[in-house]
């Protein structure tokens, strides 16, 4: 049987983000926003040893994406792949670690994956989404997105599996308890993607190859899992009917099942 890409979102919210992507005997983590101990525990819960991890890719410097990366690198000799600006902005959180630089918008090899990076608008020093390809299969991940851009659409188009931010419900945010400046930041160009916007992006990127979509980075205050699923399903209704992909939602507390991309 040919090798396949498998993945699990180990956890996702503003409290921490980490996704494991495996192909053959090699596991890459996208972001390491929990403590190293927590990440090792969650990995072992899905049958992956920390010694199988061959690299960590960082999307951006915010603490919910980098928290455990430095310790993972020092303790287990795992290289961290990130943009130069991300290393600079996260210097204190990362500490001394094995660094591998990439250019946001470029691509590189992290065996057995070809990794394509695409820039995303967000209030970080540098921020990107990833498209990992191996064995003619592609896995795309993008969270923390201020608004949809052509680079986002291009990066996720025709992927077999997609992890995409569905951060907030517009009405919940609007009527919720957050102060005005924070509401403005979340809904603004350097903030996050709403459920509706997530559905609109899916309409642009899914195709008959697409097997599944995992909604990620759901706000614990301005969203619920059923609401995110319902809004995304209704906005992307036609694509869903046409291509029949599955929609799942990641949560902050436990890993999703291990999906085949």
- Interface residues with Zn ion (CB under 5 A) are 62, 64, 144
* Residue 104 or 239 with smaller CB distance to Zn ion: 104
In the complex with Zn ion, the residue whose CB is nearer, 56 or 239, is: 56
Residue with tokens 């993607």: 193
The backbone torsions φ and ψ at residue 238, rounded to the nearest 5 degrees and listed phi first, read -65, -45
Q: How far is the CB of 67 from Zn ion (least distance, A)?
A: 11
Q: 49 with 72: CB under 8 angstroms?
A: no
Q: Is 254 helix (H, G, I), strand (E, B) or coil?
A: coil
State the minimum distance, in angstroms, from the CB of residue 77 to Zn ion. Answer: 26
> Which runs of consecutive H residues, i.e. helices, occur in the chain?
36-45, 63-66, 69-76, 84-89, 91-94, 150-156, 170-175, 180-187, 195-205, 225-235, 237-243
Distance, C-alpha 6 to centroid of its chain:
14
Smallest distance, Å, CB 24 to Zn ion?
29
Min CB(228)–Zn ion separation in Å: 16
Query: What DSSP character marks residue 59?
Result: S
Q: Check: CB of residue 169 under 8 Å from CB of residue 117.
A: no
Nearest residue (CB) to Zn ion, 51 versus 189: 189
In the bound complex, what is the minimum distance in angstroms from residue 119's beta carbon to Zn ion?
Answer: 14
CB of 224 to Zn ion, least distance (A): 18
- Give the residue with the Cβ less far from Zn ion, 62 or 131: 62
Rounded-to-integer distance, Cα 256 and Cα 52, Å = 19
Nearer to Zn ion, 144 or 197 (CB): 144
Residue whose Cβ sits closest to Zn ion: 62
Q: Which is nearer to Zn ion, 22 or 62 (CB)?
A: 62
Distance separating alpha carbons of residues 240 and 1, to the nearest angstrom? 29
């Amino acid at each position: 049987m040919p090798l396949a890409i498998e993945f699990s979102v180990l956890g996702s919210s503003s409290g921490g983000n980490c996704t494991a992507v495996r192909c053959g005997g090699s596991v890459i983590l996208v972001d390491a926003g929990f403590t190293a101990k927590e990440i090792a525990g969650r990995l072992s819960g899905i049958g992956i040893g920390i010694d199988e991890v061959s690299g960590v890719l960082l999307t951006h410097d915010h603490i919910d994406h980098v928290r455990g990366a430095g310790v993972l690198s020092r303790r287990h000799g795992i290289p961290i792949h990130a943009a130069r600006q991300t290393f600079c902005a996260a210097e204190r959180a990362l500490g001394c670690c094995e660094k591998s630089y990439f250019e946001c918008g470029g691509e590189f090899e992290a065996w057995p994956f070809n990794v394509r990076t695409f820039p995303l608008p967000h209030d970080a020093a540098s921020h990107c989404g990833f498209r990992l390809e191996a064995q003619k299969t592609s896995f795309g991940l993008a969270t923390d997105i201020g608004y949809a851009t052509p680079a986002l659409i291009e990066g996720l188009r025709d992927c077999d599996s997609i992890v995409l931010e569905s951060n907030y419900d517009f009405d919940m945010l609007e009527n919720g308890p957050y102060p005005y400046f924070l509401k403005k930041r979340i809904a603004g160009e350097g903030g996050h993607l709403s459920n509706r916007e997530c559905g609109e992006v899916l309409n642009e990127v899914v195709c008959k190859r697409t097997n599944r979509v995992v909604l990620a980075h759901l706000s614990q205050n301005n969203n619920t899992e059923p609401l995110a699923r319902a809004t995304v399903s209704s906005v992307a209704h036609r694509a869903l009917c046409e291509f029949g992909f599955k929609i799942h939602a990641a949560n902050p507390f436990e890993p999703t099942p291990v999906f085949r991309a």
